[in-house]
A and B are shown apart, each in its own frame.
Chain A
Amino acid sequence: MKVELKNVVFSYDTVKAVDSVTLEFDSGRISCLVGPNGSGKTTTLKLVASLIKPSEGVVYIDGKDVRTYSASEIAKLVSYSDPHLPKTLPMKVVDFILTSRYPHHRALQYFESREDIEVVEEVAKELDIVHILDRKLEQLSSGELQRVVVAASLAKKPRVLLLDEPSAFLDIRYRFEIMDLVKKYTEKRGAVTVVALHDLHLASLYCDRVYLLYRGRIVASGSPLEVFTSESIERVYGVKVETVQIGRSQVVAIPVPAESSKETPATLS
Chain B
Amino acid sequence: MAHRIARVARLRFFTLSTLLALLLLTLVAVSVSIGASMIPLDKVLLCLLRIECGEPARLIVELRITRTLAALLTGCMLAVSGVLVQGVSRNPLADPSILGVSSTALAVLSVFLLVDPTLIAYRQISILIAFSGALLGYFLTTSISLVAGGTGLSLILSGIAVSALFSGVSHILLFLVQDKLRHPYVFLLMGSASRVLSQDLVYLVITLALSVAIVFAFRIPKALNAYLFGDSYAAQLGYRVRVVTTVSAFVASLLAGSSVAVVGIVGFIGLAAPHITRILLGTSDHRVTILLSLLTGSSLAILADVATRAISIVSTRGEIPLGVVTSVIGAPFLAYLVIRGSRR
Chain A: residues with CB nearer than 8 A to chain B? 46, 49, 51, 71-72, 74-76, 78-80, 82, 84-86, 88-92, 94-96, 99-100, 102-103, 105, 110-112, 117-118, 120-121, 124, 130-131, 133-134
Contact = CB atoms under 8 A, between A and B. Distances in A.
A49 B236 CA distance: 7
7 shortest interchain CB distances as A-B pairs: A75-B238, A89-B284, A88-B90, A121-B2, A72-B238, A71-B238, A80-B236
B92 A80 contact: no
A51 B2 contact: no
Contacts of B237: 75, 99-100, 102-103
B270 to A, nearest CB: 15
A117 B284 CA distance: 18
B192 to A, nearest CB: 31
Interface string B233-245: 1011111100000
Contacts of A110: 221-222, 287
B4 to A, nearest CB: 9
A118 B283 CA distance: 20
Interface of B: 1-3, 5-6, 86-87, 90-92, 152, 221-222, 225-226, 228-230, 232-233, 235-240, 278, 282-285, 287, 341
Given A82-B230, A105-B222, A121-B2, 10 more contacts: A51-B232, A72-B238, A74-B236, A75-B238, A95-B284, A99-B222, A102-B238, A117-B6, A121-B1, A121-B3
A120 B90 CA distance: 25
B90 to A, nearest CB: 4
Given A51-B236, A75-B237, A103-B237, A94 B287 contact: no
Nearest to A122: B2
A99 B225 contact: yes
A88 B5 contact: no
Contact of B6 (A46, A86, A94, A131): A94
A135 to B, nearest CB: 10
Contacts of B239: 71
B278 to A, nearest CB: 7
